[in-house]
């Protein structure tokens, strides 16, 4: 396609936006509302996914060492645990260190320092993949000099199932919103094309190729998508800025954190713009297709 011809198509696409002012407004409004919903939902889901990852990565196995284990037994046990498939780390804590932590948590009124230490030496074990926690715990429990293994059995499986279900539901909802946006813009552009059906048929009869007819409408759809993404991007940026300003100081030092404002918000903005362009082009392409048969 020649540059001059492409320039003509660009001019025609802009003229069409102006000639069909109300339809342009309807299309841009439909894209704006849908992309705003998608943007907010993506922002929420990405942060929930971050929280889920933080929770998963905090899961660990607490391994209690038998009281009759000697130092050399504990050293061998540490090597065995660290060598198991799926184990990322195994940190040893003596029963004295456990007692100190317990007193720090609950206060010296426990007066355990005046008694013989009843606690166990323990290993804190992390799996490479959080979903491997149960399998790793079962392997460790079969080793010698293991008194007990705790990892939240039953609860941890429910947590992982809940987090996976949340991710899947979020993905389905985002896809549903995208298809809704494509359907809306396709319908609004189709109405515009129906009004110009005679023009399209004349162009075809005088020898215009399908692409010559199609390109202005595709460009028009792209402009609609870009225009429809401006307001959602601005509102999402402003909303997330306010959320991070409010939440980050309050979540400092907590188990989970929100995604940093930068580069996350720029990634979401680029995604919204890309989705606007895509649904605009796709909606135009699908709408014009049936009118190219004369």
The rounded distance, in Å, linking the Cα atoms of 90 and 138 is 15
Q: What is the reported pLDDT for 294? A: 47
The rounded distance, in Å, linking the Cα atoms of 196 and 214 is 13
Q: What is the reported pLDDT for 6? A: 63
Looking at the chain, the domain(s) classified CATH 3.30.70.3040 span: 60-151
Strands of the 61-65 sheet, one edge to the other: 87-93, 122-127, 61-65, 146-150
Q: Which residues pair with 126 in a beta bridge?
A: 89
Q: Which residues pair with 62 in a beta bridge?
A: 124, 150
The rounded distance, in Å, linking the Cα atoms of 287 and 214 is 10
pLDDT tens digits for the chain (294 residues)? 566 666 766 776 667 666 666 777 777 887 888 888 888 888 888 888 787 777 777 778 899 998 888 888 888 888 888 888 888 888 888 888 887 877 776 665 555 555 667 788 899 998 888 778 888 888 888 888 888 888 876 666 677 777 778 778 878 887 887 777 677 766 766 776 676 677 777 777 777 777 777 777 788 888 888 888 899 999 999 998 888 888 777 766 555 677 888 888 899 999 999 988 888 888 777 777 766 654
**Fold held by 60-151:** Alpha-Beta Plaits (3.30.70)
Tell me the CA end-to-end span of the chain in Å, nearest whole number. Answer: 23
The rounded distance, in Å, linking the Cα atoms of 170 and 166 is 6
Give the pTM: 0.67
Q: What is the reported pLDDT for 213? A: 74
The rounded distance, in Å, linking the Cα atoms of 117 and 74 is 18
């Amino acid at each position: 396609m020649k540059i001059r011809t492409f320039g003509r198509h660009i001019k025609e696409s802009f003229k069409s936006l102006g000639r069909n002012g109300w339809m342009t407004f309807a299309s841009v409004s439909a894209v704006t509302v849908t992309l705003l919903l998608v943007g907010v939902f993506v922002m929420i889901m990405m942060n929930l996914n971050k929280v889920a990852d933080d929770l998963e990565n905090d899961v660990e196995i607490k391994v209690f060492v038998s009281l009759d284990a000697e130092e050399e037994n504990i050293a061998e046990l540490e090597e065995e645990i660290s060598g198991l498939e799926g184990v990322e780390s195994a940190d040893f804590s003596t029963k004295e260190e456990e007692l100190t932590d317990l007193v720090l948590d609950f206060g010296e009124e426990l007066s355990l320092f005046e008694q013989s230490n009843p606690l166990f030496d323990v290993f804190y074990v992390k799996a490479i993949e959080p979903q491997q926690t149960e399998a790793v715990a079962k392997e460790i429990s079969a080793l010698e000099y293991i008194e007990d293994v705790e990892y939240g059995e039953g609860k941890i499986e429910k947590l992982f199932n809940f987090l996976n279900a949340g991710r899947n539901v979020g993905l389905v909802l985002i896809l549903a919103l995208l298809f809704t946006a494509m359907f809306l813009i396709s319908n609004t552009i189709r109405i515009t094309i129906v009004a110009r059906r005679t023009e399209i048929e004349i162009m075809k009869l005088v020898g215009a190729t399908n692409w010559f007819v199609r390109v202005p409408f595709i460009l028009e759809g792209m402009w609609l998508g870009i225009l429809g993404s401006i307001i959602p991007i601005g509102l999402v940026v402003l909303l997330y800025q306010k959320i991070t300003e409010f939440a980050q100081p309050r979540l400092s030092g907590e188990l989970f954190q929100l995604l940093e404002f930068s580069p996350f918000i720029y990634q979401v903005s680029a995604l919204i713009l890309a989705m606007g362009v895509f649904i605009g082009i796709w909606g135009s392409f699908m709408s014009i297709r049936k009118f190219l048969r004369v």
